Amino acid sequence: MQIDLRSDTFTKPSTAMLNAMFTAKVGDDVFGEDPSVNYLEALAADMFGLEASIFCPSGTMTNQIAIKCHTQPGDEVICDELSHVYQFEGGGIAFNSASSVKLLQGDRGRITAALISASINNKFDVHKSNSSLVSLENTTNFGGGACYNFEEIIKIKEVCFQHNLKLHLDGARLFNALVAKGETPKQYGEIFDSISICLSKGLGTPVGSLLLGNQNLIKKAKRIRKVFGGGMRQAGFLAAAGTHALQNNIERLTYDHVAAKEIARALIEKDFIGKIMPVETNIIIFEVINSCTPKELVERLKQDDILCLAISPTQVRMVTHLDVTKEMLKKLIQVIEAL
């Protein structure tokens, strides 16, 4: 029994999801003729109260398409220093959009209206790049699954509105935040100019992300997706997995959050575990101290068929997801207690 806590991307499609995929009706989506893709795109847009959405192979692509849509070469994107769009997308903002980045030091990946306000360049100063986009991440990946307070997001929107900045949400794990905070997709649809969600993380599909926005944005996004090489043909087999996920795998995220808190409670008892970031959703990031290193701990757990990641010289990350069963959780807690 292997317990894979490296990421929630390691999930395999369930039998029910595979059945939905097998029986999907498909067509050529580059021609707009795949009924399963069209269905998923409409379903997601409707959930968020937005006009349209576009199905893409990855969250990196949906983020990068959004950034490309919202910027001109030489512009500046404002985001937290831990942001996936900056740290983990291969320098894509520079490569794809020829834009620079203003990194803010937020709190576990979350930035504030005040920080953003103070970082906007004077648009009449020719020395400065043109601040044109703010990108938020909810939940934050390398901030340990932290969630934004919605009141702060409203304040951020106000700042963006005043300064004519677009506002993008990297919502790779937005559904974890919605479930944890009792929020709705429509609240987010009302605020953001674009929203990226991953179907292949906590929602458990093998592949796929969606970019959501108004008709105009998604029309632009369709062209850029093609340029990026992301136009897919009979993608309905994958879209059917996404529809299944949106219809079945959202509420159950609560269980992943409970499991993550249980793991944290077991870890905190250990003298070689230092600070654990507050566990708000399905990510546990903790320090390893006292003559034990993250690498050593990862190796030790591997002996018990438990996989997790050393994400820095001092930190280990564990992520819970729908393939972590109650039985696995029990074993994991026992192994931690016996360490």
Minimum distance of ligand PLP from residue 6's CB (angstroms): 12
CA distance 282 to 318: 8
Minimum distance of ligand PLP from residue 82's CB (angstroms): 9
Minimum distance of ligand PLP from residue 331's CB (angstroms): 26
Q: Residue 41 or residue 137: which is nearer to ligand PLP going by CB?
A: 137
Minimum distance of ligand PLP from residue 293's CB (angstroms): 25
Q: Residue 157 or residue 201: which is nearer to ligand PLP going by CB?
A: 201
Contacts of 337 (CB under 8 A, 6+ apart): 266, 269
Minimum distance of ligand PLP from residue 147's CB (angstroms): 13
Q: Residue 178 or residue 273: which is nearer to ligand PLP going by CB?
A: 178
Token code pair at residue 5: 């806590």
Minimum distance of ligand PLP from residue 335's CB (angstroms): 26
Q: Residue 84 or residue 273: which is nearer to ligand PLP going by CB?
A: 84
Token code pair at residue 114: 């005040």
Q: Is the peptide bond before 139 cis (omega within 30 degrees of 0)?
A: yes
Q: Residue 21 or residue 177: which is nearer to ligand PLP going by CB?
A: 177
Q: Residue 153 or residue 198: which is nearer to ligand PLP going by CB?
A: 198
CB closest to ligand PLP, residue no: 59
Site of interaction with ligand PLP (CB under 6 A)? 58-60, 63, 84, 137, 141, 170, 172, 198, 200-201, 209
CA distance 181 to 146: 11
CA-nearest of 120, 143, 141 to 132 is 120
Q: Spell out the alpha helix ranges (H) of the chain.
A: 15-22, 35-47, 59-70, 84-87, 92-97, 113-119, 150-162, 174-181, 185-191, 215-227, 236-248, 253-268, 294-302, 326-338
Per-residue HEC secondary structure of 48-111 comes to: CCCCEEEEECCHHHHHHHHHHHHCCCCEEEEEECCCHHHHCCCCHHHHHHCCEEEEECCECCEC
Contacts of 252 (CB under 8 A, 6+ apart): 322
Q: Residue 120 or residue 180: which is nearer to ligand PLP going by CB?
A: 180
Minimum distance of ligand PLP from residue 111's CB (angstroms): 14
Q: Residue 102 or residue 201: which is nearer to ligand PLP going by CB?
A: 201
Minimum distance of ligand PLP from residue 139's CB (angstroms): 8
Contacts of 68 (CB under 8 A, 6+ apart): 96, 97, 224
CA distance 279 to 191: 26
Token code pair at residue 291: 């003559």
